[in-house]
Amino acid sequence: MFVTTCLNMYYEETTSKGPINIWVHFLRFLFICSQFHLISGYSNRDRALQLMSHYPLIDGHNDLALQLRIHHSNNLSQIDLNHIDKVATDISRLRAGHVQTQVFAAYVVCGAQQKDAVRLTLEQLDVIRRMCTEYQDFELVTSVQEIIESQERDKIACLISIEGGHSIDSSLPALRMFYQLGVRSMSLTHSCNTPWAESSSHLYNAFLNRESSLTHFGKAVVNEMNRLGMIVDLSHTSWGTALAVLNYSKAPVIFSHSSSFSICNHSRNVPDYLLRELKKNQGLIMVNFYSPFVACSDKGNVSHVADHFDHIRSVIGAESIGIGGDFDGGESFPQGLEDVSKYPAIIQELLRRNWTENELSGVLRRNFLRVFEEVEKVRDQLITQKPSEVHIPLEQVKNPCRLELRRPKFSSNAERRSLNLLFLTSVLLLSIAF
């Protein structure tokens, strides 16, 4: 854009001056460019802002809903979403950061697994749906077409994801009902294993031993997500699970908020061999900004984050990269990237590192739209497939609170006889009473 503007100015300046030597042309061109730079201050910052006004960001992961629960018990009436204290996300800062589509995560802690994870997830979906329908700036979206239309209407689109497969309590009907509520993406695990997929974290030891990284039921979950048109998210899964899904999924998948393991050796990041598999799958890695993942310490800066972009581009190309800031999912964010208003800073830095505007328009927006569109295409191809009736075997769930709603079975004749006796006694007592 800078060069184009310089050329225009140069053309206007020289057309009236008749034929001149090529070197004079060149020197005059350099002089006009430097003058233009000084006068207009048309810096990488300006280029970043201009690029983002044409290609506003689609960000892959944000945990504002979690903070609304922690600080405000999801009572939206107590706050003004235009300006919220103690968090990194609100409407005014999303606008300042040129965020046009935000994937909001419905996340519930792993401690809720085998307990009330489904209820808590419903409550998080409720608060996201409320904030995205009660404020004029927001708009709930569920498809590529709706994202494009919301940009035309100058809205901030809210796309809903579920963070952690424990939210579906090993139930495909629950997954389908979440889809009906607008969920269009789910990460298969958070920091806990599920009975059917492994986490990258060893924080919880439940469901450690299983026959594979992605069980028969885990494959049924991936199939059902492909059939529904829900994006499979591999952030937080183990590398074994990620590889199994990359080889199994019919649709492209994403890492919604993960960075490069080669740059920072954290288990939440993605090693190069998995990046290459992701490339074959035509999926997307959306770079996470959280300091412990980008700088392997609490003290990150913009340059640390840009190093991840550079490395991933060198392995699989810019067309496989997006942005998943992970704001409000943790405390330590890099200096210069402290909240959602700061996104232009990373685009500015990548421009300085000679990323092209075409590459960056992909990173900001087009790459995610391509992947989501492909996920929708796979859904359309599977239109004749019926909803899956695969059930997880109870012995794999190992949850004493899980009920099987069937007619009660009597385990022994003795039990049946004692129930008959109870019934006869009740009849006898009632007939005496009346």
Q: Judge whether 294 and 301 are in contact, CB under 8 Å.
A: no
Q: How far is CA 79 from CA 75, 135, 140, 259, 273, in A?
A: 8, 12, 20, 33, 45
236 is catalytic: yes
In the set 257, 304, 308, 311, the catalytic residue is 257
What's the chain's length in residues? 434
DSSP states along 196-239: SB-BS--S--TT---SSSB-HHHHHHHHHHHHHT-EEE-TTB-H
The half-sphere exposure of 161 on its side-chain side, counting CA atoms within 13 A, is: 31
Distance CA 148, CA 153 (A): 9
In the set 63, 169, 277, 307, the catalytic residue is 63
In the set 98, 166, 236, 308, the catalytic residue is 236
Cα–Cα nearest to 266, from 233, 245, 288: 288
Distance CA 49, CA 281 (A): 32
72 is catalytic: no
Helices 172-180 and 216-228 sit at what angle, rounded to 10 degrees? 20
What DSSP character marks residue 410? Answer: P
In the set 139, 277, 326, 357, the catalytic residue is 326
Distance CA 143, CA 374 (A): 11
In the set 90, 139, 169, 190, the catalytic residue is 190
Distance of CA 132 to the CA centre of its chain: 17
Q: Judge whether 249 and 281 are in contact, CB under 8 Å.
A: yes
190 is catalytic: yes
Q: CA 332, 317, 201 angle in degrees (round to 5)?
A: 40
Distance CA 195, CA 57 (A): 35
The half-sphere exposure of 322 on its side-chain side, counting CA atoms within 13 A, is: 32
Give the E-state strand segments of 220-328 in sequence order. 231-233, 254-255, 284-287, 321-323
In the set 90, 163, 198, 357, the catalytic residue is 163
What Rg, from alpha-carbon coordinates, does the chain have? 27
308 is catalytic: no
328 is catalytic: no
Cα–Cα nearest to 135, from 58, 57, 71, 83: 83
DSSP states along 331-385: S---BT-SSGGGHHHHHHHHHHTT--HHHHHIIIIIHHHHHHHHHHHHHHHTTTP
Q: List the catalytic residues.
A: 61, 63, 163, 190, 236, 257, 326
